[in-house]
Amino acid sequence: MFRILSALALACALAGAAAAQDKPKQDEPKVSGGERDAAQKIEKAKGTEAKLQQAAAFVKKYPQSPLRAQIADQIAREIRETTDEQAKGSLAQTFLDIFNRPAEASLVTASLLNSYINTGQTQDAITLGTKWLAEHPDDIGLHLELVSLYYSRRDVEHFADAEIECVPIDVRLRRQALQSRDVIGQAKGILMERRGISADEAFDVLRRASQSLNIKLTTVAQTLVDRRAEI
């Protein structure tokens, strides 16, 4: 019975997270006309950089606005979709200067880390990765990224200092990371096929379900893969 209820809870969380992406919320927050006008300027701005400039003015004037989270989420999504890794890193840094709350910072951590890794900024990647893993020790995928980075850059002189606890040179952990990445990929594929959404959107569905149920992302993904017929 417990397993059935767990599966139902997972299905509801997944469906709710996907629905939140498919259509806007019916109950809009109460905001002033000035806030709404400022938010519309952000939406109409051309390009992510221009949106960030407008967002900076918005946050400065309306720091407690109920629209703040929505704006941060929308801009963070644009940053994730930026294909130029150098530009992605710069945009993410600007985002962090504007949206400095812990929950907001986490929206672009992966984007910034990927930018560091893909543009060869090894020390910055290690520093940010260490900080993230201190707060999210179960992020096996990032463990694998740092292990790979370690082996590809170990000839760099400054990397001698990077033989740190967050880089677990462990065959079992690397195997587990590969397996976790594979099952997350399968779960994303199922959501992409059934919901008609992108890979990033599918990952957001899994992430939100994980947070809603307070269980590991890999557990959500594995349950979805195992019980795809029930969801």
What pTM does this model have? 0.57
- On whether both 102 and 6 belong to a single domain, the answer is no
CA distance 19 to 1: 27
**Greater pLDDT, 66 or 214:** 66
Confidence of residue 18 (pLDDT cuts 50, 70, 90): low
Q: Is 84 exposed, middle or buried (0-12, 13-18, 19+ CB in 10 A)?
A: exposed
Domain count, the chain: 2
What is the reported pLDDT for 57?
A: 95
Which of 89, 119, 149 is where one domain is finished? Answer: 119
Average pLDDT of 34-58? 94
94 in a domain, yes or no?
A: yes
What is the reported pLDDT for 42?
A: 95
- On whether both 93 and 71 belong to a single domain, the answer is yes
Q: If we measure between CA atoms, which residue out of 67, 22, 78 comes closest to residue 41?
A: 67
- On whether both 141 and 111 belong to a single domain, the answer is no
- On whether both 154 and 61 belong to a single domain, the answer is no
Residue 32 has pLDDT above 70, yes or no: yes
- On whether both 231 and 137 belong to a single domain, the answer is yes
Average pLDDT of 22-45? 79
Task: Write out the DSSP string of 48-69.
Answer: HHHHHHHHHHHHHH-TT-TTHH
Instruction: Look up residue 30 and give its amino acid.
Output: K
- On whether both 103 and 159 belong to a single domain, the answer is no
- On whether both 7 and 62 belong to a single domain, the answer is no
Share of the chain above pLDDT 70, in %: 64
With left for phi above 0 and alpha for psi between -120 and 50, is residue 114 left, alpha or beta? alpha
Q: Please give the angle made by the CA atoms of 183, 145 and 173, to the nearest 5 degrees.
A: 65
Can you say whether the dihedral through the CA atoms of 111, 84, 79, 53 is positive or negative? positive
